[in-house]
Structure 1
């Protein structure tokens, strides 16, 4: 995978999505203010968090695609994963804002007058966000971007919020203002759930959880004729940047040159069989030292 092409593709879509999110937010905030509909105004401010997450992503990607250096010998790709935690924080912040909005509505008896254009504004912004989610998920899966997939969840939560607002408009028009509170609380639950999912996935990567099953790797390595066994198999990292190390057993009488050749073959075979593996460290051991691990 050409990292420069990947970076350009991710940066391009984030810029496009940023403009879409800002347009959606601006439309809802301006209309909500002019029409005096607090729910649409609040939804617009919530949409601004999508734009903020795009800006975080642009900075995160800029760091993530820097080449490895003396201070970061394994590269900077985890900066992209770390940036996705910022999206989770924005989700929790949005949930908090909605709770405050619900509380404010409970303290007032004001019921806004709902016009037809209110439904049109919300429906159009839902459609735009749905297209953004589809776009981000497609590109995120293609380029294995933690951030884009996390941002898609964030934008998806905005769709749930807008659907809740749409339902609220219907309920208010039918004389059922209490539906507003119930819908808002359900939306809060969905947003918090999305935030927890992002934190769980990011933590798995940042805390070096095993990425590949050791037995699957061992099966592939043992197919090499000169290899007599392997053990202590460990993997970590992102799906597109997996680091792997293992111990390989060879004949005790084998020369250093031959053992080195086998270690290179092990590395090559692993990279061919498992997508996303970028670094393999092979520790060669004579069979007699670790017979119990055959």
Structure 2
């Protein structure tokens, strides 16, 4: 039972990083890829239909964390209250700025996307034991790459060409981050390190080749997987899994029934959103 709930929590968190990561990446690149107000509307119009659906993964993951793993939740929050508070403010501000879109909100949108990306980097660095500065710089680069690839897939003409150039230019520094960060994250077992590093670099190479050949869907799939890899590292950490004591049966039983209802709805909502907003081949 414990393993099953850990897998559910890991999958939900991976889904959040793989999908919401491009939301923040688009926010970071808004002023880089869009030259005027019309292009900025196109850029934000490409991402806003997915915004709330992508955040649902985080809400579901937090629900499982608080309900099934109260001790793990306490360990993760212990000593990181300020970082979590800043991250929460960034998440709320980013969502509000994206929904209340106007030129006056651009600064809030870009700034809050940076706060969220840096905040996740700081938390990952602290949990994994790596250099916090490296993670605080690397995660925004990773999200920016993911966002640029998403826009290369979803946009046309000038913004697409700029997105492809930016994405191709971000691949080398993100690959450098993956190589530098993984071996330095002390608590993760060595095999877990090799898996993450050994997967990230080939995926980034695949994304670069797919961009050059115009296969933007493939490139997006590659960067989505890379965005989820830090979560794999977290759940491979001995100190994190070691404190994952389960809640009592009185909590797990209703939580299990709720999960049987909520998780299919999350997946259905995601599938519907992507189907309705699909891009013709």
TM-score by length of 2: 0.32
- Structure whose CA Rg is larger: 1
Structure that is richer in helix per residue? 2
Higher relative contact order (CA 8 A, sep 6+): 2
TM (normalized to structure 1)? 0.31
